[in-house]
Homo-oligomer: A and B are copies of this chain.
Amino acid sequence: MNKNSSNTMALAPNTSNKRQTVCVFGTGDFGRALGHKMIQSGYHVVFGSRSAQTSSLIPKDAEVLSHAEAAQKAAIIIIAIQRQHYNFLTPLAEILQGKVLVDVSNNLKINQYPESNAEYLAQLVPGAKVVKAFNTVSAWALQSGTLDASRQVFVCGDDMEAKQMVMDIARALGLTPLDRGSLLAAQEIENYPLQLFPMWKFPILLSLGLTTFFFFYCLIREVIYAYVYENKDFSFFIAISIPNRICPVLALILLALVYLPGVLAAIIQLYRGTKYRRFPDWLDKWMLCRKQLGLVALAFASLHVLYTLVIPIRSFVRWRISSRTIALALNNKTEPLNTTNAWLSDSYLALGILGFFLFVLLGITSLPSVSNNVNWREFRFVQSKLGYLTLILCTAHTLVYGGNRFLSPSSYRWYLPNAYMLALVVPCIVLVVKFVLVFPCLDKPLTQIRQGWERKPQYSE
């Protein structure tokens, strides 16, 4: 009701687009930025400050008063001070009775305190309605107007009316408020802006490690070997040829690692005869970053495609083809078409194209807006059925690429097999185990276990 009446007032001519008085405690950078923005959006802003000293940077149109005076002027008070200083609010408890306190604070570390700042505030001033909001917005973005990622304001609080008032302010500032429920969500909201791609850490570190390993592996096999035995300088292979060996190898290994934990989980469940015991911690974590692993694999696959498609433009490749043609012409020879080679070359390219195509499809369905529009049955169909088909196609692509020189001794240099042969190990294991698990004698008990059946029930005693 409060809100509506103040809005109706806003339409009255004499208030000239001023909507509501909002009080801001704290004249730090964020408080000033928020105050500034609210003044621009037509609010009347009152700052509560310890002294008039620090007020030199405060927007002109704002009033600066003592905390107690400022609090009395507004129904909403934004607490733009750090958690350590919250206890100064205790003496003001009486004035703050029934007011909406907006906690905008952030911490320096994830889970820095046992309870969230907003819950701590609610304990300090039990009579006030505490709402957590605005902590995901940066002061700089607020002031420069370059809001993009930060348009979202997570709001939580126990009082619906208070939450609505804060969400209306957020909308007036051009932000998108998102209700996250009761004050219990504050901890999560406070942790949110501190994260830097937490789910991506493991996949990226893993792929960096594997990239380094395969880079030196290929460097030895392709560049140093040729230099030592044939005294040829193939150092320029570092630019394209070696990356184009690393990328497909990593794409295949990482894609197989997406499906390995599911296979392991099935084995563990079959062995234990129940689904009601937790998986080992490492397996849980692994399962949670499968999407990220898959997307990193897709990135490597895309690079592989680009590296492969520029092959005919490379100066080295043009030179090699032209040299061979000239040599044949000078020797008066014409080669007949080798149908086996044509078959092998065309099939591994076709398998690669189809595999990559399905892989991109998987990537698109993992976009948030797409995966939110499919139901669980559809998502599982895409991620599981199409995912395994992709893995099969990519593994076949690599196998056919090896083709007839697969186990020929000439492909071993210093006893090192070609990199793609190493890449085949994990995907082949995954596919073989998955193939075994599909047999009815294993599939049936597994399905039962997943539906809740237990070989020896444990909670029975």
Enumerate chain A interface residues (CB-CB to B < 8 A): 3-4, 7-8, 10-11, 19, 28-29, 32, 56-60, 119, 122-123, 136-141, 143-146, 148-152, 158-160, 164, 167-168, 171-172, 180-185, 192-197, 233, 235-237, 239-241, 243, 265, 275-276, 284, 287-288, 291, 299, 302-303, 305-316, 318-319, 321-330, 332-335, 337-339, 341-347, 349-350, 353-354, 356-357, 360-361, 367-381, 383, 450-452, 454, 457, 459-460
Q: In the complex, how many angstroms separate the beta carbon of A277 from the nearest chain B beta carbon?
A: 11
Can you name 8 A-B pairs with beta carbons within 8 Å? Answer: A7-B184, A149-B378, A197-B378, A236-B342, A239-B343, A302-B360, A312-B313, A330-B334
Q: A312-B313, A346-B236 are in contact. Are A376 and B326 (CB under 8 A)?
A: no
Identical copies of this chain, number: 3
Chain B positions within 8 Å of A380 at CB level: 149
Q: A338–B319 contact, CB under 8 A?
A: yes
Chain B positions within 8 Å of A349 at CB level: 239-240, 310, 313-314
Q: A303-B357, A310-B353 are in contact. Are A368 and B370 (CB under 8 A)?
A: yes
Q: In the complex, how many angstroms separate the beta carbon of A70 from the nearest chain B beta carbon?
A: 18
State the main secondary structure of chain A at its contact with B. helix
Q: What 8 A-B pairs are tightest by C-beta distance, nearest first?
A: A149-B379, A369-B369, A315-B345, A239-B346, A29-B452, A56-B460, A312-B312, A171-B181
Report the nearest B residue to A233, measured CB to CB.
B339
Query: Measured between alpha carbons, how far is A236 from B149 in the docked complex, in Å?
Result: 45
Q: In the complex, how many angstroms separate the beta carbon of A209 from the nearest chain B beta carbon?
A: 20
Which has the most chain B C-beta neighbours within 10 Å: A57, A327, A454? Answer: A57
Q: B315–A342 contact, CB under 8 A?
A: yes
Q: In the complex, how many angstroms separate the beta carbon of A204 from the nearest chain B beta carbon?
A: 13
Given A4-B182, A149-B378, A314-B345, 12 additional A-B pairs, CB 8 A: A10-B184, A57-B457, A137-B376, A138-B376, A139-B452, A193-B376, A239-B343, A239-B346, A307-B350, A314-B349, A315-B345, A369-B369
Q: A321–B318 contact, CB under 8 A?
A: yes
Q: In the complex, how many angstroms separate the beta carbon of A336 from the nearest chain B beta carbon?
A: 9
Query: Measured between alpha carbons, how far is A452 from B311 in the docked complex, in Å?
Result: 53
Q: In the complex, how many angstroms separate the beta carbon of A440 from the nearest chain B beta carbon?
A: 20
Q: B326–A192 contact, CB under 8 A?
A: no
Query: Measured between alpha carbons, how far is A368 from B373 in the docked complex, in Å?
Result: 8
Q: In the complex, how many angstroms separate the beta carbon of A88 from the nearest chain B beta carbon?
A: 21
Q: B347–A239 contact, CB under 8 A?
A: yes
Q: B307–A353 contact, CB under 8 A?
A: yes
Which has the most chain B C-beta neighbours within 10 Å: A10, A183, A353, A367? Answer: A353
Q: B171–A185 contact, CB under 8 A?
A: yes
Q: A195–B375 contact, CB under 8 A?
A: yes
Chain B positions within 8 Å of A123 at CB level: 11
Q: A171–B180 contact, CB under 8 A?
A: yes
Q: A325-B325, A329-B326 are in contact. Are A148 and B291 (CB under 8 A)?
A: yes
Query: Measured between alpha carbons, how far is A310 from B184 in the docked complex, in Å?
Result: 56
Report the nearest B residue to A232, measured CB to CB.
B337
Q: B196–A377 contact, CB under 8 A?
A: yes
Q: B7–A158 contact, CB under 8 A?
A: yes
Chain B positions within 8 Å of A146 at CB level: 287-288
Query: Measured between alpha carbons, how far is A56 from B452 in the docked complex, in Å?
Result: 11
Query: Measured between alpha carbons, how far is A375 from B192 in the docked complex, in Å?
Result: 7
Query: Measured between alpha carbons, how far is A8 from B345 in the docked complex, in Å?
Result: 69
Select one of B144, B315, B377 contacting A194, CB under 8 A: B377
Query: Measured between alpha carbons, how far is A401 from B23 in the docked complex, in Å?
Result: 59
